[in-house]
Structure 1
Amino acid sequence: MPEAIDALGAVEAKMRAFVAELNNDEIEKLYHALPKGKRLRAKLVLKIAGAGDEAVKLAAVIEMIHAASLLHDDVIDDATTRRGVASLNATEGSKQAIMMGDILYSKGFEKLTDFDRTIAATVAGAVTQLSVGELMDVRLGEAFNPDVEAYMQMIYQKTAALIEATAASAAALAGKERAIYARYGRNLGLAFQIVDDILDITQSAEKLGKPAMHDLKEGKTTLPYIYLYEALDEEGKARLVALHGRELTPETRDWIRLVMEETGALRRAYLYARELGEEAVALMTSRGEEALASIVSAMIEREF
């Protein structure tokens, strides 16, 4: 555990060094205001490729790109908090947040060019997918979306593609089988997002760091809501669709939680996430990668 902590510290130091190269006090101030999060992508790189200089650098690049995507995401969603603290767009304005995101993207891509073409292309391609996923998320939010396939494609592009690329590029750096680790990363990313969507419904605002059931208010028809729609009668369907994009009352939240439990929609979504996770665990366990298997298990069972 201390080695993992030290390696993550090296990743943080590398990211700070990248930002310091810009020689701009305002950018450094904005960067230090950003919440750090769990650094899942950095942990994947370090566990797959070790904690050498190149692995630390790759982890820093990917985390910088991820941070940039979150800044843009908060502006798109008009989010006022990120991980329980005020978002940059809330404190500094959307223009500052967008430009800071652009700076982190650009610096990340600058450093990405130092890597082998296979690694650089893998990460860059995932960022393209991420951007398309953001667009699809906005489009799907224009009306209640009952299409599971459209939802899964969107979360693959917006969330899972970068995690998939993280695992694949780390495997390439370590001389391991890219396709196997890519599959692991894809499943981890999909399961991660589905569990996040479930927690948006089941957890309190205090644990989430944002209002409960914020997704539906923001127009996001996540997997539990799609499964719920499929299970409701016509009256229930109409009531659920009418709540899309609207402020929810305590009574409405209680109704959603009740019918989620009664119809088994939440359980169905969780079981699908667990199925994806179990495949990822099996892939890593068969290769003796117990630490990577544990990441999936912890993510599936997390409460916030």
Structure 2
Amino acid sequence: MTRTEIKAVLTQAVATPNPLLQQLLNHALTGGKGLRPTLVLLCARFGMHDTLEVQQVAVAIELIHLASLVHDDVLDGATVRRNLPALHCLYGTVAAVLTGDYLFATAFGLLARSKKAVLTTVTEAIRSMCSGEIQQLTVTGPDTKAYFTYIGQKTATLFSAACRCGGILCRLKRPQQDYLAKFGWHLGLAYQVVDDYLDLFGSAAKMGKPNRQDLARGILTLPVLRLLELSPQAALWQEKISRGLTATETEELIAAARHLNCDEFTAAVAGEQIALALEALDKLPVNPAREELALLATRTLAPLEELI
């Protein structure tokens, strides 16, 4: 399936006769890379599978991702998503939260038609995502271990679930499902590290959303954690981040991070995670899908190559 075909199946899944609801849903579905459903589709190609069932599970996982974005924007007070106004900015908080709930419900309607193992896998992933968001509220200082736990639960867990579901749907044996899940886990970690790199050092125009938002909210991502680990002025930077950085201070922090090679360090960590993902992938049978997954993984690092 191409991205256009994925979008068509998504649109069909959320079709409703309610004009306002359809307007809300259309906005929520606009844009995006379709990465998570692509992982389901590719992983299912390791064996025989029911095409319709695979498509439904792929769409369900994308709907869960979209629902989480809608809810995240409300919680974070984000105003832009994918170069468009965030849903809650256009229609209000109540409408946005209910739209997210509707997307979740639609996803579970699709998952209920699939195998029990698929439903269990995705349910556990959502529990982990919620747990990660709650855990982030308790992090009060620099803690790299807590950072990786958080991004694992927030991002990597749904990547991993998408890959495992593909393996379940093509009836791979459990050890092979585990390798697919491990591939997805490390890919998800790399994806989030790259996103955090771009948020600090990248361009808002290319990202499709305002950058430096994590820093503005006092969230310590990997490059900032590295700065606080290396800088002689770490305590002062921590104090400034806690009270809120001015525009000038933000630029000074970014310059200091570059001076200490925090950008190169963060890029290297993303590369290490992709290497671990490919190592897990190598344990699976030689297959055209394996080659496509490997290519997808290596492309995750492409945005960094433009900036380093």
Q: Same fold (TM over 0.5)?
A: yes
Residues 18-61 of structure 1 show CA distances to partners (whole Å, capped at 9, x for unaligned) of: 222x5422211111112230010011111111492111111111
Distance in 1 separating the partners of 2:31 and 2:296: 18
**Deviation, structure 1 residue 250:** 4.0
CA contact (8 A) 1:216 1:245 kept: no
**Deviation, structure 1 residue 264:** 2.2
Unaligned runs of 5+ in 1: none
Distance in 1 separating the partners of 2:296 and 2:244: 35
User: Aligned residue for 2:89?
Assistant: 90
CA contact (8 A) 1:216 1:243 kept: no
Letter of the 1:296 counterpart: A
Distance in 2 separating the partners of 1:211 and 1:168: 33
Distance in 1 separating the partners of 2:206 and 2:12: 32
Distance in 1 separating the partners of 2:5 and 2:211: 35
User: Aligned residue for 1:243?
Assistant: 240
**Deviation, structure 1 residue 253:** 2.7
CA contact (8 A) 2:39 2:162 kept: yes
Letter of the 1:205 counterpart: A
Dislocated runs of 4+, deviation >4 Å: none
User: Aligned residue for 1:161?
Assistant: 157
Match of 1:46 among 41, 45, 53: 41
CA contact (8 A) 1:217 1:243 kept: no
**Deviation, structure 1 residue 212:** 3.0
User: Aligned residue for 2:294?
Assistant: 293
Distance in 2 separating the partners of 1:29 and 1:250: 36
User: Aligned residue for 2:227?
Assistant: 228
CA contact (8 A) 2:60 2:110 kept: yes
User: Aligned residue for 1:118?
Assistant: 117
Unaligned runs of 5+ in 2: none
**Deviation, structure 1 residue 247:** 5.1
**Deviation, structure 1 residue 211:** 3.1
SS of 2:137's equivalent in the other structure is helix
Match of 1:30 among 4, 24, 45: 24
User: Aligned residue for 2:170?
Assistant: 174
User: Aligned residue for 2:144?
Assistant: 148
Give yes or no for the alignment of 1:274 onto 2:271. Answer: yes
User: Aligned residue for 2:13?
Assistant: 18
User: Aligned residue for 2:256?
Assistant: 259
SS of 1:38's equivalent in the other structure is coil
Distance in 2 separating the partners of 1:183 and 1:128: 18
**Deviation, structure 1 residue 245:** 5.2
Distance in 2 separating the partners of 1:195 and 1:211: 15
Distance in 2 separating the partners of 1:132 and 1:243: 28
CA contact (8 A) 2:79 2:89 kept: yes
CA contact (8 A) 2:6 2:34 kept: no
Distance in 2 separating the partners of 1:245 and 1:72: 24
Residues 148-167 of structure 1 show CA distances to partners (whole Å, capped at 9, x for unaligned) of: 11111111111111111000
Q: Percent identity?
A: 31
**Deviation, structure 1 residue 249:** 3.6
Distance in 1 separating the partners of 2:18 and 2:215: 39
Distance in 2 separating the partners of 1:98 and 1:78: 13
Alpha-carbon distance change, 285 to 199 in structure 1, aligned in 2, over 3 angstroms: same
**Deviation, structure 1 residue 65:** 0.8
SS of 1:175's equivalent in the other structure is coil
Distance in 2 separating the partners of 1:148 and 1:248: 21
Residues 153-198 of structure 1 show CA distances to partners (whole Å, capped at 9, x for unaligned) of: 1111111111110001111111232100000000001111011001
CA contact (8 A) 2:201 2:263 kept: no
CA contact (8 A) 1:164 1:182 kept: yes
Once superposed, what is the RMSD of the aligned Cα atoms?
1.8
**Deviation, structure 1 residue 106:** 1.2
261-270 or 238-247, which moves further after superposition? Answer: 238-247
SS of 2:113's equivalent in the other structure is coil
SS of 1:158's equivalent in the other structure is helix
Distance in 2 separating the partners of 1:274 and 1:213: 22
What TM-score, normalized by structure 2, do the two folds share? 0.89
180-189 or 25-34, which moves further after superposition? Answer: 25-34
**Deviation, structure 1 residue 278:** 1.0
Distance in 1 separating the partners of 2:203 and 2:12: 37
SS of 1:114's equivalent in the other structure is coil
278-287 or 69-78, which moves further after superposition? Answer: 278-287
Letter of the 1:118 counterpart: A
Letter of the 1:163 counterpart: F
Letter of the 1:150 counterpart: A
